[in-house]
Structure 1
């Protein structure tokens, strides 16, 4: 795609992004909710998004699936007040809805598998009903304009006429950084175009590329993003990625599955201590008489 078409597509998505933003009043309400409240708190939401990241990695889903699932989840939570006990059903429903839009049908995990691996306490019928509720409330059809939409377009623009930049400006790395940011509800208040540009500038500064920095400035001027807004979110992105890169941070995509079983099930599970000892197989050649 040439520069003119990319910039035109960029503008079209920029004009549509406001339709796919969660209600800020709803997000603020979640952020102000304490953990002992009967409503969803920011910590509860962030933990559930990390679970979605783990499920995305386990089933081999794309970044697009994860980002769309988080977008659906945040828009629904900012619109409808739900109890914490229903959050698992809502979040997994959003993931399944996103996967049906972005993944090949042959790669889709059956609802029962999503529920089993996610160790959720609801049925496939519950999941189906919740999907219908979310789709109806959000008027969801098949897509949403997200930060990943802009990140992909920015990356294509940055690589125009210079494929060598692909080696130093990794889209995969940018996607991983975006996923880390989305695990914090505060970034759901950012305009997708601004969040994506903040991530791009952060990486460009890291690789110290002056020509790509000029491309980022051109994108900023084209979309009329103010310096104040870009600086604000760039600082927040830098802090988030600094925390994420620390050894103390538990990476959701590296998390091991932990199975919760009843005491009776645990007693019935075979461990190496319960395996009966078998006689040692002799290593010498068989005697013909033993045949």
Structure 2
């Protein structure tokens, strides 16, 4: 089988696509979360004092609901997850700080991806997410995250590869353009993002696995041949590819099963009591303050090279909800959309 090259692509656009693919392949490892840090989280048992896979996955589901609520695009969500995982894989984080870190990851991603008019304000995100932080807490944590990631927040993700592979396929195929749904593929990628294990996969491999499984369901020989050319050009070996494809297949099967409750596709609505609504409209400062998060300290080599300063703060401010929330007739629940509904 011939290698995928400029002569096999459609004109000037094809040459550009190949160049962009080569650029993504060079960059992907640079923006992957540290595998050692992810493995430490994976090996952590479920408890109240240590960050474990369940807490991380629940926070990513919250981010997905937060992105849906504010109408953010898929790229914002995927980048927010990348920022979150890179930070968690680098730092020793306590569960009580995870909500603040998640909100900051979302805001940082939104500022990179979204148009200015679509970037939610810090105060709006605080109120909707109920993260129990102040605006100054958020700004301070954003600074910590940015510094630890060396201000390299705009990353090459699996979504970049998914879009590029999809465009390359459309450039080559003689079949109907709408046969391969990008919306469905994006929804499937979100499902994978909600599981910590897929943060260990190379973005190029994860995207190719998603496309391969979808092409197999379409039973298209032509599309499969194009994907094989892309796989060969990307230097993805069979062992790695089949390992991740099996995990992706299991993940998607679970999300597609009848036992998996799927959210209503209607727009999310936040219904509150009159008193709570008045508090939300009239004050940006109804959220209890978190104690200041100290930045002093350094890496503790005796624990792990992945551990760092203890960003500890008081427990009491995280133990209860604001008084006004007790009178909500129905409070927006980010768990309402924990599972994914794939477009048909």
Please report the TM-score for the alignment, with normalisation by the length of structure 2.
0.74
Among 6, 21, 34, which residue is 2:17 paired with? 6
Hey, what's the Cα distance between the residues in 2 that align with 1:194 and 1:267? 48
Given that residues 53 and 253 in structure 1 are in contact (C-alpha distance below 8 angstroms), is that contact kept between their aligned partners in structure 2? no
1:246 deviation in Å? 1.7
Aligned: 1:247 with 2:258: yes
Partner of 1:189: 200
1:165 deviation in Å? 3.5
Aligned: 1:22 with 2:38: no
Structure with higher Rg: it is: 1
Among 220, 231, 234, which residue is 1:220 paired with? 231
Cα distance, 1:163–1:28 mapped onto 2, change above 3 Å: same
Partner of 1:169: 180
Cα distance, 1:157–1:264 mapped onto 2, change above 3 Å: closer
1:12 deviation in Å? 1.1
Partner of 1:278: none
Equivalent residue runs for 1:122-141 within 5 Å: 122-141=133-152
Equivalent residue runs for 1:99-178 within 5 Å: 99-141=110-152, 143-162=154-173, 164-178=175-189
Partner of 2:100: 89
Cα distance, 1:163–1:121 mapped onto 2, change above 3 Å: farther
Hey, what's the Cα distance between the residues in 1 that align with 2:176 and 2:219? 12
1:261 deviation in Å? 6.5
1:249 deviation in Å? 2.5
Aligned length: 270
Q: Which moved more, 1:226-235 or 1:157-166?
A: 157-166
Cα distance, 1:63–1:158 mapped onto 2, change above 3 Å: same
Partner of 2:81: 70
Please report the TM-score for the alignment, with normalisation by the length of structure 1.
0.87
1:46 deviation in Å? 0.1
Q: Which structure dedicates a bigger proportion of its chain to helix?
A: 1
Cα distance, 1:239–1:214 mapped onto 2, change above 3 Å: same
Moved over 2 A (4+): 161-166, 247-270
Among 31, 43, 50, which residue is 2:42 paired with? 31
Hey, what's the Cα distance between the residues in 2 that align with 1:102 and 1:156? 20
Question: What is the alpha-carbon root mean square deviation over aligned residues?
Answer: 2.3
Partner of 1:206: 217
Q: Which moved more, 1:256-265 or 1:245-254?
A: 256-265
Aligned with 1:2: secondary structure?
Answer: helix
Partner of 2:298: none
Partner of 1:274: none
1:164 deviation in Å? 4.8
Given that residues 54 and 252 in structure 1 are in contact (C-alpha distance below 8 angstroms), is that contact kept between their aligned partners in structure 2? no
Among 230, 246, 251, which residue is 2:241 paired with? 230
Equivalent residue runs for 1:264-283 within 5 Å: 266=326
Aligned with 1:159: secondary structure?
Answer: helix
1:209 deviation in Å? 0.8
Bigger relative contact order, structure 1 or 2 (CA pairs below 8 A, ≥6 apart): 2
Unmatched 5+ stretches in structure 2: 1-11, 273-319, 331-344
